[in-house]
Structures are given as structure tokens and as C-alpha cells.
Structure 1
Amino acid sequence: MIKLGLTGSIGMGKSTVAAMFADEGVPVFDADAVVHQLQGPGGRILPAIEAHFPGTTGPAGVDRPALGAAVFGRPDEMRALEAIVHPAVREERAAFLNAHADAPLVVLDIPLLFETQGEAQVDKVAVVSAPPEVQRERVLARPGMTEDRFAAILAKQMPDAEKRARADFVIPTGGPQDETRAVVRCVIACLMPQSGG
């Protein structure tokens, strides 16, 4: 099995690219989706989050604005939250890999792959990238996003140029989706040459 780490900064189109891999029949582990599930209604880490951050969870799961307010700009609290979330995500990833043990290729969609030294867990890395103006337009179109929040998120992420330099593959998303899909297919063909592309 080849484990391909898929990463990219905010607004680069990573979710779109992950869906393209899934469309081609490649199992995709979406770390963000798993976090949403773990923190959603009945999520298994809710009790630990509520214990550390009282009043941030309810019947609908984590109250994102409340939890965000509890950790934003507070590194110690952010680390406390990560200490709850990250081990649970690692367990879910192990279960995913176990369930797809026969797959020749799997994609691990990990937003902060380089920032969390996650490249050691994968065989190859694909970085999703778009021009800065495209990224900015996409991100600022999101509900509740502001220039300040965007700047704060970017400050926590490794610069796109550095991610591209460290990647085995760069998947561009600034142009038509057909072009992006063609690159995704090339990456799959490159990693699974026995499939005949």
C-alpha cells in the first residue's frame, strides 16, 4: 500500500482534489471530516472537550464559535484541545488503514501535514496549490471569514511555496477543474503504474 499525504493551505481546493481521488476509486481519509464527526452530535470526544472547556458542547455537538473563542489566541488552550483531538484522529486513521489494507493506494487528507510533521506517516506528499489571489478570493467568500482571521490562519500555516518545494507532487487548482482532474489521474498513474493509468 502506498500512502499519499494530501495537503495544502486554506482555500487551495484540497477538498475538491480529495473528491477527485475518491471519484477515481482511491480510498480517502479526510482528517477534517473525521474531526467534525468526532465533535458532532454524539461524537466520542465531546465529554473530554466539555470537561476541559465547559459550555462549549451541546446536543448538536461542539459549539464551534464558543470553542473557537475559548482557544483563539490562547496557545495553551489550543494545545489542550489538540491533545484531545489528535489522538482520536490517529485512532480513526489506523482503523481506516486497517479497513483498506488491500488497497494499493490510499489518500490521507491532512490539512496541517507539514506543520505537524505528518510527512513521516506517508510515502509521498501531494500539495494542492492555487495562485495567492485565487486563494484569497475563495477564503474571503466563506461565511464569517475576515481579513484578520485569514491572516491569522495563514500565519499558522507553512507558506505555500515551501509546501510546494517539499512535495512529491503539486496539484494546481487555479485553472479549469478538468486540468486539475488530469493531474490527479497522472499522480494515480505514477503511483500505481501496474494499473495501466
Structure 2
Amino acid sequence: MSFVLGLTGSIGMGKSTTSRMFADEGVPVWDADAAVHRLYAPGGAAVAPLAEMCPEALVDGGVSREALKAWIARDDTAFRQIERVVHPLVARDRAEFLRAHEADPLVVLDIPLLFETGAEDQVDAIAVVSAPADVQRARVLERGTMSAAQFETILAKQLPDAEKRARADFVIETTSLEGARAAVQDVIRQIRQGQSDA
């Protein structure tokens, strides 16, 4: 049985970069966002059920996230309907990953909304990726993909960073790449040490 480490962190904290660092160390990583992209891509399992509920979401054989956002904006029930389709499919994708890697001593589940979706029950330990609030804000706005108001809206839906840190088994600071990489290596070492002591 693998040791399952949940990796999470608020928007702009450097979670994707940290996730790649675990992969660079040879740890299999399952990415919740990538799973959703697969489900929405042409031929993905979410395409047909979502297209049935929201026909305009079907674009070039896949699901348009922009069309889903537009539907959510005009229909209060849309988000729940999408979740009912997508959550079980994501859970199945995650279960398949865990089965495929059950011989690996350590696997990482990269789940942005780990606490918010109650997924902490499905992992053995939690690593939270964190950076100071001003660094987080600057990173998000530098991307140029959202306004300050959109950033604040997303932030309001996420559990505060301080609370995530308090509930974490490990906190990975991402103010520098070197520091983050050293922290990732330390987390892996601690988990492996714990496994050899068990």
C-alpha cells in the first residue's frame, strides 16, 4: 500500500511548481485539474452528460469551460449540476491512479480544494504550499489571466491560508525555488523515515 500525501494550497501559492518537484524526485503525482481537463477533452467521460445539460458547452467535441462559466453565472443550480457529473468521474480517475501505483511507497494527490471538498479523509498526510499574501497576489496578477476582483472572488471561496497551514502535516514555503525544493525533499525523507520505522 502506498503512503498517500495530499498536496494543496490556495491560488498563486506555487502548488503546480511544487507538484512538479515531487515528480522530479520520482514520486507519482495525480493532478485533480489535469483529470478534469481529460474529462472535458474530446472523448472525455464528462463530455456527453455535460453537453446534455448545457448544449452550448459542447465545442469542437469537448467541453468549453467558458460556456460552463456563463451557465453558472445565469443559473444558480448549474454549479451543483456540474459537480454531480464531474465529482464521481474525478473520484474514479483518482482511484484508477492509486490502483496503478499501489506498489509505489509514496504517491501525491495534487488537489487544489482538498479541505473544501472533504478529500482530507482520503490521504495519509497533508502538505500545504504557502507563501506570504503579497507574494501570492503579485504572482496571480502577473499571470494576466484575471483581474484583482476575480482573484478576490476566488480567494473568498478558498479556506484561508492560515487555516490550511494549521491543519497541515507539512508546510512547504515557496518564496524561493531552492527553499521549496529542499522542503519537498525533506517531506519525502520524513515520510520514508516514518515508513522504515513502522
The normalised TM-score by structure 1 is: 0.94
Q: Please give the alpha-carbon distance, in whole angstroms, between the structure 2 residues aligned to 1:28 and 1:155.
A: 27
Mapping of residues 35-184 of structure 1, within 5 Å? 35-59=36-60, 61-72=62-73, 74-174=75-175, 176-184=176-184
Counterpart of 1:177 in structure 2: which amino acid?
L
Structure 1 residues 73 and 187: CA distance shift in structure 2, 3 A: farther
- The answer on 1:2 being equivalent to 2:3 is yes
Aligned residues: 194
- Sequence identity, in percent? 56
How much has 1:75 moved relative to structure 2? 4.5
Q: Deviations over 1:82-115 (max 9, x none)?
A: 1111100000001000000101110000100000
Partner of 1:186: 186
Q: Please give the alpha-carbon distance, in whole angstroms, between the structure 2 residues aligned to 1:60 and 1:184.
A: 39
- Contact in 2 for aligned 1:57/1:63 (Cα 8 Å): yes
Q: Please give the alpha-carbon distance, in whole angstroms, between the structure 1 residues aligned to 2:120 and 2:75.
A: 26
Q: Please give the alpha-carbon distance, in whole angstroms, between the structure 1 residues aligned to 2:37 and 2:131.
A: 25
Counterpart of 1:147 in structure 2: which amino acid?
A
TM-align CA RMSD: 1.4
- SS of equivalent to 1:189: helix
Structure 1 residues 155 and 142: CA distance shift in structure 2, 3 A: same
Q: Please give the alpha-carbon distance, in whole angstroms, between the structure 2 residues aligned to 1:130 and 1:73.
A: 35
- Contact in 2 for aligned 1:42/1:59 (Cα 8 Å): no
How much has 1:41 moved relative to structure 2? 2.2
Q: Please give the alpha-carbon distance, in whole angstroms, between the structure 1 residues aligned to 2:76 and 2:23.
A: 35
Structure 1 residues 63 and 88: CA distance shift in structure 2, 3 A: same
Q: Please give the alpha-carbon distance, in whole angstroms, between the structure 2 residues aligned to 1:167 and 1:74.
A: 35
Q: Please give the alpha-carbon distance, in whole angstroms, between the structure 2 residues aligned to 1:25 and 1:75.
A: 43
- SS of equivalent to 1:43: coil
- SS of equivalent to 1:164: helix
The normalised TM-score by structure 2 is: 0.93
Gaps of 5+ in 1: none
How much has 1:60 moved relative to structure 2? 5.3
Gaps of 5+ in 2: none
Structure 1 segments, 4+ long, off by >6 Å, are none
Mapping of residues 4-19 of structure 1, within 5 Å? 4-19=5-20
